[in-house]
């Protein structure tokens, strides 16, 4: 009996879109994404010499709002280390509502985004990444290999571990990332 149920759980887990693993090449690098500045460009164009940070985000998720204050300083850190930064809104089910292109523009203006914020039409990129939650980050190195995925830090309050900052510092120096994957609570991406 338990075996049957265990098999059901395994089957269910396999059916869920699998998240890309550490060392994987950046998926969907040729996907066209619409930036709030009006430009449409491939994901790969946001990559800089030392890599690319992809942040799955949105306009209303309370966890995104809690971590929102980290976005600009992290984009500056990326810039300083010649790593690209792009925030992606993959909530396709809400692209006609709270996560519409117009709302994304307003959101970016309100929080003074210093980085590109793009619309992932049909959640194609999120599906290619196996991303399921916002906020969630994926850091690729200069070769386009995934070096860190997960939470920004262990906050929101009393932050003890700045996972992403540590990963950016390591990747930019070509060093190995100590903590490569983490998890955090957040909103489900609305495919």
Partner 1 sequence: MKNIIIFTLILVSIRCGNDLLNVKAVTVPELYNNIKENNVSSLVLLNIWSTSCIPCIEEFPYIVKLKKRYDINKLDVVFLSTDWEENEADVETFLLSQKVRGQHYRKLEGNTQEFIDDICPSWSGALPFTGIFNKELNLLSFWQGKKDEKYFISKIDSILKIKGEIL
Determine if 21 is a binding residue for partner 1 (CB under 8 A). Answer: no
Q: How far is CA 83 from CA 10, 41, 105, 170, 172, in A?
A: 37, 17, 23, 12, 8
Closest approach of partner 1 to the CB of residue 87, in Å: 18
* Strands, sheet with 146-150, edge to edge from the N-terminal-most edge strand: 40-42, 32-35, 117-119, 84-89, 52-57, 136-140, 146-150
For 169, the token pair is 């510092």
Determine if 19 is a binding residue for partner 1 (CB under 8 A). Answer: yes
For 28, the token pair is 């969907």
Determine if 186 is a binding residue for partner 1 (CB under 8 A). Answer: yes
Determine if 166 is a binding residue for partner 1 (CB under 8 A). Answer: no
Closest approach of partner 1 to the CB of residue 154, in Å: 7
Among 16, 30, 38, 174, contact with partner 1 (rule: CB under 8 A): 16
Question: Rounded to whole angstroms, how far apart are CA atoms 38 and 32?
Answer: 12
Determine if 154 is a binding residue for partner 1 (CB under 8 A). Answer: yes
Please report, as ranges, the residues that interact with partner 1 according to CB under 8 A.
Answer: 1-2, 4-5, 8-9, 12-13, 16, 19, 62, 132-133, 151, 154, 156-157, 182-189
């Amino acid at each position: 009996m338990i075996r049957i149920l265990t098999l059901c759980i395994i089957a269910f887990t396999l059916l869920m879109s699998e998240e890309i693993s550490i060392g994987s090449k950046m998926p969907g690098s040729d996907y066209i994404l619409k930036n709030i500045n009006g430009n449409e460009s491939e994901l790969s164009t946001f990559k800089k010499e030392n890599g690319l940070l992809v942040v799955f985000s949105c306009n209303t998720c309370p966890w995104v709002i809690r971590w929102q204050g980290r976005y600009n300083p992290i984009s500056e850190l990326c810039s300083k280390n010649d790593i690209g930064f792009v925030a992606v809104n993959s909530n396709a089910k809400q692209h006609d509502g709270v996560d519409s292109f117009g709302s994304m523009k307003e959101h970016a203006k309100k929080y003074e985004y210093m980085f590109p914020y793009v619309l992932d039409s049909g959640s194609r990129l999120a599906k290619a990444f196996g991303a399921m939650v916002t906020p969630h980050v994926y850091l690729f190195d200069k070769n386009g290999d995934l070096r860190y995925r997960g939470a920004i830090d262990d906050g929101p309050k009393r932050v003890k571990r700045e996972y992403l900052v540590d990963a950016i510092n390591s990747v930019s120096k070509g060093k190995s990332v100590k903590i490569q994957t983490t998890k955090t609570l957040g909103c489900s991406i609305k495919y």
